[in-house]
Amino acid sequence: MTLTLTTAGESHGPALVAIVAGLPAGLVLDRNAIDADLGRRQQGYGRSPRQQIEQDRVEVLAGLRHGRTLGTPLALVVGNADHKNWAWGMSPWPPEGEPRGKGKEPVTLPRPGHADLAGAMKYGLDDIRDALERASARHTAVIVAAGAVAKALLAAIGVSLEGRVVTEDLERRIDEARADRDTVGGVVEVRARGVPPGLGSYATKEERLDARVAATLVGTQAVKGVEIGEGFALAGLRGSEAHDEILRDEGGYHRETNRAGGIEAGVSNGEEIVVRAAMKPLPTLMKPLRSADLETGEAAEALVERSDVAAVEALAVVAEACVAFELARAAREKFGGDALEDFVAAHRAYVERIPWSPR
């Protein structure tokens, strides 16, 4: 059994939905911990006023009873409080009455760097909103909720994660960009401690932990590069400088350096997992770039819509959730257990068998 995550939801639709299947029964979930992560995603320097409209809270529709998982699919919902302003424009059914509120005018000015033009051509759209609503990173809210669930599962086997921004001087860059009606990106890092050796596999690309971690991050909006451990810098080093020598003491095998970022041959090696993601500057600019009107073909400026100047701090939280989900999935594959007790017992027996201990 593995863990799967399916999401649905548009940026200004009624709600975002996630279904997490494959969780063991008996895992205690803390609503406040999930909401705290949702709140962390909404904070951060450079975010738009939308974050004050929304105060994300998780609702659970299935898979949980009295705070414990049932071993059945867990259905998570995060409502879009802003939907009330888009009730006509984003009505799931043909809307009744006169066009009103936000989203009633079709969007025809594609933004460079967003889903707008590719989406319009791919689906033959007259209104770019049909593409941008799902492409928007708003749905990372429900990914963060699923990540919080994954973190609860990982905590049961002593694994903890932390996502943070590593770009220096971000606030100054954001202030300068805002003054110029521009946007910025940055770099975030996720570290996971307590990950035992042996998660993932070198057997196939699909099972490789490095591939899975990279895919989940690069599959997140605005992420254009991923580094595991020293990543790109390794290419300029000699082998003797690049690899982490193997040492052994009473605690088992360990390394003094961690340039591999805790993954070798697609398998966790017992060191801290260290992964970085590079985020491009956000595509919606208050001083728009050149574009062409979808309807007329005439040169025009790209769409200006309420938007963040930067969302790097939010990405750190999203990236933490994404990596947590992949690690939880790999742990579920390694340790099985449809009941939490069995999952934890399998982990304990494995760690007792191997010459390794968390440091």
Ligand X SMILES: Cc1cc2nc3c(=O)[nH]c(=O)nc-3n(C[C@H](O)[C@H](O)[C@H](O)COP(=O)(O)O)c2cc1C
* Residues in Cβ contact with 276 at an 8 Å cutoff, skipping those fewer than 6 apart: 166, 187, 188, 189, 190, 226, 227, 231
The closest alpha carbon to 24, from 334, 266, 270, belongs to 334
Does residue 7 interact with ligand X by CB under 6 A?
Answer: no
Give the footprint of ligand X on residues 114-173 (CB under 6 A): 114-115, 135-137, 140
Closest by CA to 358, choosing from 280, 286, 253, is 253
Rounded to a whole number of angstroms, the minimum distance from the CB of residue 185 to ligand X is 9
- For the chain, the farthest-separated pair of C-alpha atoms sits apart, in whole angstroms, at 75
Binding mask 244-273 for ligand X (x = CB under 6 A): ------------------------------
Cβ neighbour number for residue 332 with a 10 Å cutoff: 22
Residue 48 interacts with ligand X (CB under 6 A)? yes
Cβ 135 to ligand X, closest distance in Å? Answer: 4
Residue among 150 and 222 whose Cβ is closer to ligand X: 222
Residue type at 196?
A: P
Q: Which of 142, 188, 214, 282 binds ligand X (CB under 6 A)?
A: 282
Site for ligand X in 203-222 (CB under 6 A): 220-222
Q: Contacting ligand X (CB under 6 A), which of 308, 332, 340, 344? A: 308
Is the separation of the CB atoms in 340 and 25 below 8 Å? Answer: yes
> How many other CB atoms are there within 10 angstroms of residue 233's CB atom?
11
Residues 60 and 75: beta-carbon distance below 8 Å: yes
Compose the 318-337 pattern: x for residues touching ligand X by CB under 6 A, - for all others.
x-------------------
Token duo for residue 353: 């068998």
Q: How far apart are CA 45 and CA 36, in angstroms?
A: 17
Stretch that binds ligand X, among 21-29, 111-119, 208-216, 232-240 (CB under 6 A): 111-119
Considering the rule CB under 6 A, would residue 80 count as an interface residue with ligand X? no
Q: How far is the CB of 273 from ligand X (least distance, A)?
A: 20
Per CB under 6 A, residues contacting ligand X are 48, 113-115, 135-137, 140, 220-222, 280, 282-284, 307-308, 311, 314-315, 318
